[in-house]
Amino acid sequence: MANPLSQFEIKPLIPIEIAGIDASFTNSSLMMVLTVTAVTAFLTLSMRGRALVPGRWQALAEVTYEFVANMIRDNVGSEGRRYFPFIFSLFMFILFGNLMGMIPFSFTFTSHIIVTFGMAIVVFLGVTLIGFIRHGAKFLGYFVPSGVPVVMMPMLVPIEILSYLSRPVSLAIRLFANMTAGHTMMKVFAAFIIPLGFLGGWAPLAVDVALTGFEFIIAFLQAYVFAVLTCIYLNDAIHLHH
């Protein structure tokens, strides 16, 4: 375990192969299943009482619900209500994935570029599809900035298209890089604690304690950023503002 990157290794637990595709149940899959289970438990068990005046857990579940609902209302407006379950699922999936990755010896599936890219490309394709369904060919007008001289168009339109296409890439890399960098850094400092001995080991330990708190903030913040950017992209597709 000396290698700080070994924590990101995918270990197949149950080898499965369907139609020639490797679908093994891995440590990553296990954390994904646990994330879904935890989110479901959090939302259903806390609401079991259906109390008019909520208790602690119910209040927490309601706050989470309203947090995402307000995020969509502020960034997308009333048309965004239809996409509330998707954005809520996305936010909670990433948030719980990040938080459960903070448990020692567990695995952070959001630290893998293929997972974050998979989510980002779904958002990107979905948003583009919604734009074309709502506005048809007029959605292409999104790439033509308004109030700009026609001479500038040959230069600006490719830039707009490029910036639009880079959205899923930046979305995926932001989450993956944040999680990977944070966990790697913690591991690097942790590796120094024992070799530096009883006297010198305190310094990297203190850094790791601080990093742990920092990582919890990052875990929330990156889930929030992913969800907010999804809302903003959705708003662009629905309202075509530029």
Partner 1 sequence: MPQLDVTTFAPQLVWLAITFIAMYVIMAKVALPRVGQILEERQNRIDDDLDRAATLKEEAEAAAVAYDEALTKARAEAQAAIREVSDQLSAEAAERQKALGDKLAADIAAGEKKIAAARDAAIGQISEISGDLTKEAAEKLAGVKVTDKAIEDAVAAVMGARAR
Residues that bind partner 1 (CB under 8 A): 5-6, 8-10, 12, 16, 18, 21-26, 28-29, 32-33, 35-36, 39-40, 43-44, 47, 50, 52, 58, 61-62, 65-66, 84-86, 88-89, 92-93, 109, 111-115, 118-119, 176, 180
> 24-28: long-range contacts at Cβ-Cβ below 8 A with a sequence spacing of 24 or more?
27/107, 28/107, 28/109, 28/112, 28/115
The residue (of 54 and 201) whose beta carbon lies closer to partner 1 is 54
Question: In whole angstroms, how close is the CB of 141 to partner 1 at the nearest point?
Answer: 31
Nearer to partner 1, 39 or 76 (CB): 39
Q: Which residues face 18 on adjacent strands?
A: 21
Q: Quick one: which of 88, 48, 39, 90 has its CA closest to 68? A: 88
Q: How far apart are CA 166 and CA 43, in angstroms?
A: 34
As measured in angstroms, the least distance from the Cβ of 4 to partner 1 is 11
Nearest by Cα to 98 from 43, 38, 46 = 38
Question: CB 87 → partner 1: shortest distance, Å?
Answer: 10
Least distance CB 124 / partner 1 (angstroms): 15
Residue 79 or 160 having the CB closest to partner 1:
79
Hey, which residues does 26 pair with through a beta bridge? 12
Name which of 115 and 227 has its Cβ closer to partner 1: 115
Pinpoint the alpha helices (H) of 4-136.
27-46, 56-75, 84-100, 113-135
